[in-house]
Structure 1
Amino acid sequence: MYIHSRSDAALSIRNLTVSYHNQPVLWDIHLDIPTGVMAGIVGPNGAGKSTLIKSLLGLVPSLSGDVQIHGHPYAAQRKRVGYVPQRSSVDWDFPTTALDVVIMGLYGRLGWFKRPGSKERREALEALEMVGMEAFTDRQISQLSGGQQQRVFLARALVQQADVYFLDEPMAGVDATTERAIVDILRRLRDNGKTVIVVHHDLQTVRHYFDWLLMLNARVIASGEVDKVFNIEHLREAYGGQIAMLSDSDALMFQASKVT
């Protein structure tokens, strides 16, 4: 049984509202995600999933709301948070190597004016090895495949040794081998007491990947343990359209109208 007390939560949100051009994108979000879970965030296109992550990290402004990481404001907890953005938001033509990208993850600890030394280089190499990218240390990031780029950014988050990790669709556009590798790494983090929060798009894998779930469509549709909230009623409320559960394979076949 997970504890949902705010004081024990890895992430706690109260009254969060975000608006673009005077149109609410997220409305009055209340949420507690417990420590040590692998949590998925799902919802239709335009539901505000990525906006939620960015607003929590201060990357987009919010109209109102209070966000706490392990009981303290995010501003005081930045060093305890790792972030992997969507691949589409990264300038992959920037001239830098895979190793340099990972070392950038250490600047929060070092500060921008202290040069990384042999210790930091060793940590970055270990993180690249964890994601299976040790052979690409000196490769320009633009020369890597999409899946390889995603692994490098995951290594950048890992080297921060954070307590809470936010990942924005890390499995989007990667091959099956890379997806399995990413999920295995995230599970290891969870098993070591970290909290992993993932924006996810594939409903068929929700039950297999996550133990905690937020279903979102501008507001919180449901949140809690996957077995309790991932059901046909909540899916219909979040997605509309035609949704059918196939109990024989424990998979979910889904067709829904896109939300713009």
Structure 2
Amino acid sequence: MEALNVKDLQVAYDRKAVLEQVELSIPKGSLTAIVGPNGAGKSTLIKAILGMLKRSSGQISILGKPYSPKNRNVGYVPQRGSVDWDFPTNALDVILMGRYGHIGWFKRPSKQDIMLAKEALHKLGMADYADRQIRQLSGGQQQRIFLARALVQDAEVYFMDEPFVGVDAKTEKAIIDLLRELKHKGKTVIVVHHDLQTVLEYFDHTLLLNRTVIANGPTEQVFTKDLLQKTYGGTLAFFSPTGDKRVMS
């Protein structure tokens, strides 16, 4: 079964097309990067799939069924910059929000729910920050809290919008370790990613996007000079995993 299937997706802002005729499928159990230049529609794609943006056309299915916001098998980690970090709540309470699909919005978390939230804090190196107000955390710490919230949701398909942006090397390692653990458990993780240097190392499946799908498939087949050139245009410089600089023109 495919984790995600999209047919003829189109999204427009003020009558200007942002995504056009997007057709794609993502295999279940993959760790997928969505890669493309600024303005390519990467975040828009995720939001349109999840019904956060109105689409002009398109059919979306997740795990073989039309997507519903009530589907607790789908988790979402937004861009850190889109979150109101002044909201008066602490780290543990934010993580427990990931359990609401299991316990309901008007019921108190059980001891099991609290235990799972604390385990997620520990796993992401944040055990000492359970009672800390989220506005008092650094950017990397805030990102870890949102990832912990996704972890306790125990979804089958996760969408993450640039989780590596603005974090230090230690936090980046913690994030990729978590994503690999989710994949090992059979989960599907779909990530908007901007760092071309780490695509080959981190992801087994890649979607190249620039308003429409340029290529979609196993990373070693898709992450090529010709397809990246077609996606980005102009001159593109990046570093291979071996440290050799490559320039595409």
1:29 counterpart residue number = 22
1:179 counterpart residue number = 172
Does residue 52 (structure 1) correspond to residue 45 (structure 2)? The answer is yes
* Structure 2 residue corresponding to 1:123, chosen from 116, 122, 127: 116
Alignment CA distance shift 1:248-1:84 (3 Å): closer
2:147 counterpart residue number = 154
* Structure 1 residue corresponding to 2:197, chosen from 195, 199, 204: 204
Alignment CA distance shift 1:241-1:136 (3 Å): same
Q: Distance in 2 between matches of 1:224 and 1:32?
A: 9
Does residue 12 (structure 1) correspond to residue 37 (structure 2)? The answer is no
Q: Which amino acid aligns with 2:225?
A: I
For 1:82-93, list aligned pairs within 5 A: 82-93=75-86
Secondary structure (helix, strand or coil) at the match of 2:190 reads strand
* Structure 2 residue corresponding to 1:165, chosen from 149, 158, 162: 158
Q: Distance in 2 between matches of 1:17 and 1:195?
A: 24
1:134 counterpart residue number = 127
1:223 is displaced (CA, Å) by: 0.4
Q: Distance in 2 between matches of 1:87 and 1:246?
A: 26
1:13 is displaced (CA, Å) by: 0.6
1:189 counterpart residue number = 182
| 8 Å CA contact 1:43, 1:239 repeated in 2 | yes
1:5 counterpart residue number = none
Q: Which amino acid aligns with 2:67?
A: Y
2:67 counterpart residue number = 74
Alignment CA distance shift 1:77-1:93 (3 Å): closer
Of 116-125 and 211-220, the range deviating more from structure 2: 116-125
| 8 Å CA contact 2:51, 2:69 repeated in 1 | no
| 8 Å CA contact 1:204, 1:252 repeated in 2 | no
1:4 counterpart residue number = none
| 8 Å CA contact 2:197, 2:238 repeated in 1 | no
Gaps of 5+ in 1: 1-7
Q: Which amino acid aligns with 2:28?
A: T
Q: Distance in 2 between matches of 1:233 and 1:66?
A: 30
1:72 is displaced (CA, Å) by: 0.6
Q: Distance in 2 between matches of 1:167 and 1:129?
A: 21
Q: Distance in 2 between matches of 1:249 and 1:22?
A: 44
Q: Which amino acid aligns with 1:131?
A: L
1:3-56 CA-partner distances (Å, limit 9, x unpaired): xxxxx1011111111111111111111111001111000000000000111111
Secondary structure (helix, strand or coil) at the match of 2:132 reads coil
1:190 is displaced (CA, Å) by: 0.5
| 8 Å CA contact 2:23, 2:213 repeated in 1 | yes
Q: Which amino acid aligns with 2:36?
A: G
Q: Distance in 2 between matches of 1:12 and 1:93?
A: 36
TM-score by length of 1: 0.91
Secondary structure (helix, strand or coil) at the match of 1:167 reads strand
The percent of aligned pairs where both chains have the same amino acid is: 56
* Structure 1 residue corresponding to 2:209, chosen from 213, 216, 233: 216
How many aligned residue pairs are there? Answer: 249
Q: Over aligned residue pairs, what C-alpha RMSD do you find?
A: 1.8
1:252 is displaced (CA, Å) by: 5.7
| 8 Å CA contact 1:232, 1:243 repeated in 2 | no
Q: Distance in 1 between matches of 2:108 and 2:10?
A: 39
1:249 is displaced (CA, Å) by: 2.3
Q: Which amino acid aligns with 1:179?
A: E
2:224 counterpart residue number = 231
| 8 Å CA contact 2:200, 2:241 repeated in 1 | no
Does residue 40 (structure 1) correspond to residue 51 (structure 2)? The answer is no
